Amino acid sequence: MTCVVPPGSSCSPYGALVLCASLLAGGSCFAAQDTKPAEPPTTKPAQTKPDDDTAPLVYVLMKTSLGEIVLELNREKAPISVKNFLSYTDKEFYDGTIFHRVMSTFMIQGGGFTEDMQKKPTDPPIKNEWKNGLKNVRGSVAMARLNRQPDSATGQFFINVKDNPNLDRPNDGAGYAVFGKVVAGMDVVEAIKSVAVTTGPLNPRKRTYPVEPIVIESVSRLSADEAKERIDAEKKSADSGGSS
């Protein structure tokens, strides 16, 4: 088994999909998936699709063990990445996976491992759309991929918890492709980034693995009207001083 890591860094025994150490202060890196050939995911009945597959913006609801997050996916600027994410969503691939890597000053990453740290089989990797004009800013959602392999993203994603302009630069030949953003539930993202972390099987030397599992209970599509209702309700709650 091989592991792609920057020079001088350690290799996870699980293999790794690594975001290069040079992008992070302190010389650390994060793993997202192993490098062995992927098997096709288990086929499940497709979910009802509330959009017409042509709308430039698509919405999904991510229910986690710490609350709900609404994502707006930009099909116009990242058609390949959005199609890929929706395919995994419709097959319920993300249901029961976890946020397996949490870095409070960088990002939260999930969508590839079950609660018992079993890696889920994936579809083939997709083309990197990092030049689409979308940036790795706070609240944006991007595809995780192998270091030094720009076109290696599959099912895993990360949510930026701060502006990360280094991820927009071609440090290893390409940047990291953003395909959407959080439009409701950023307080849940903040809660996830703040959980206690420890060392874990993917990185035994860095404290990035949540002590208590943060489970992605389900990911499902929302219509634009359903998304607007949730966004408006959150804004109303915030304006009135209540919790969202």
Tell me, yes or no, whether 5 lies in a domain: no
> Contact 145/4 with Cβ under 8 angstroms?
no
Summarised one tens digit per residue, pLDDT across range 152-195 is 999 999 999 999 999 999 999 999 999 999 999 999 999 999 99
The answer to whether residue 33 is domain-embedded is no
Domain that holds residue 172: 52-239
Number of domains in the chain: 1
Q: Say how many C-beta atoms besides its own lie within 10 A of residue 179's C-beta.
A: 27
Q: The domain that contains 190 carries what CATH number?
A: 2.40.100.10
pLDDT digits (tens, 9 = 90+) for 128-161: 999 999 999 999 999 999 999 999 999 999 999 9
Tokens 């288990």 belong to residue: 42
The count of C-alpha atoms lying within 13 angstroms of the C-alpha of 120, restricted to the half-sphere facing its C-beta, is 24
Q: What distance in Å separates the CA atoms of residue 76 and residue 82, rounded to the nearest whole number?
A: 9
61 inside domain = yes
Alpha carbon separation from 196 to 47, 57, 192, 210, 219 (Å, rounded): 34, 34, 9, 6, 24
Q: What confidence score (pLDDT) does residue 53 get?
A: 80
Residue range 89-109, pLDDT digits in tens: 999 999 999 999 999 999 999
Give the alpha-carbon dihedral of 140, 185, 17, 36, to 10 degrees: -120
Whether pLDDT at 50 is above 80? no
Residue 216 lies inside a defined structural domain of this protein:
yes
Tokens of 233: 């309700």
In a domain, 168, yes or no: yes
Helix (H) or strand (E) holding 178: strand 178-184
Strand partners, 99: 110
Residue 24 located in a structural domain: no
Is residue 235 in some structural domain? yes
